[in-house]
Amino acid sequence: MSSIPTVEFAVIGGSGTLSSNFPLGAGDEDVEVLEDNLIFETPYGTSPAFRLFRVGDKKVLNCKMHGWRAEVSRADASRQVFWVFREAGVKRIISEGGVGSINPLLDPRDFVIPDDYLDMSERKGVGLEGKYLLIMRDALCHEMRKKLIEKTKEHFDGRVFTRGIYAVTEGRHFESPAEIAMLKGHADIVGQSICPEVYLAREIGACYAGLYFIVNYGEGLVKSWSHQELQDIFYDDAPMISRIILDTIRSLEPMGTCECKDLRKETLLKGIYNK
């Protein structure tokens, strides 16, 4: 087992960076992998493998595909990842992933930097020790979103949506046409990974923001999507997504002037949530 390094930045990789050997796919000279395949023992089981890298003088911990593994529940995978982040001292977390559309104005390859979420998953109760009352106003950090938007526009000529609501479903399957119809008008994009991450980020006192790109139309919208197009987006756009994330980290200070860390308070329900 490895000992946990001190790190202020983290990237939770999703489908966008999976095929690019993140962060090396970007090919940037100030990026170097410091340690690989770091696995830690946590109170929630053995962690997924992390990569420790640097971009300039900033150290970053990275895990692949939200830490999900076939033999571990997604709830435990998320707890393991955020327990490690807290022990490492992580203050700013960037995530990314491919999502489906709900808003009929969206097309494949559009980028969305959401400003809110709607949790339809069964993982709402996932936390660490539950010592805090978590206020979910501005769950997605303003300051980090602003940088993500700026850097996405620098690297991408297509459409970048600067706000939107991410509906989280349980998975592992995609949604039915009736489920998409139900969500229409309530959310813009749909995926499986922004919750419970936003709760856990708040619990450890870290800022969280994500970069999402449309890989398919929601079922029953516009037209049936092709698996080939989804695969092409994952492979073609991965280096660009890596560059956006690395540039965002370069532009951020470890401690923001945002309100995020003040949106957790001591719980008034002591002794109830202690698992």
- Which chain residues interact with Zn ion by CB under 5 A? 141, 207, 256, 258, 260
Residue type, 155: H
In the bound state with Zn ion, the residue whose beta carbon lies nearer, of 80 and 152, is 152
In the bound state with Zn ion, the residue whose beta carbon lies nearer, of 224 and 257, is 257
Inter-residue contact 153 to 161 (CB < 8 Å): no
Q: Is 236 helix (H, G, I), strand (E, B) or coil?
A: helix
Cis ω for the linkage preceding 163 (within 30 of 0): no
Quote the least distance from Cβ 118 to Zn ion, whole Å: 21
d(CA 114, CA 99): 11
Quote the least distance from Cβ 80 to Zn ion, whole Å: 23
In the bound state with Zn ion, the residue whose beta carbon lies nearer, of 8 and 110, is 8
In the bound state with Zn ion, the residue whose beta carbon lies nearer, of 72 and 209, is 209
d(CA 197, CA 200): 5
d(CA 235, CA 44): 33
The b-or-e profile of 214-233 (16+ CB within 10 A means b, else e) is bbbbbbebeeebeeeebeeb
In the bound state with Zn ion, the residue whose beta carbon lies nearer, of 99 and 260, is 260
Quote the least distance from Cβ 258 to Zn ion, whole Å: 3
Inter-residue contact 217 to 101 (CB < 8 Å): yes
d(CA 237, CA 253): 27
In the bound state with Zn ion, the residue whose beta carbon lies nearer, of 109 and 146, is 146
Quote the least distance from Cβ 68 to Zn ion, whole Å: 25
Question: Is the four-CA dihedral 6, 8, 12, 16 of positive or negative sign?
Answer: negative
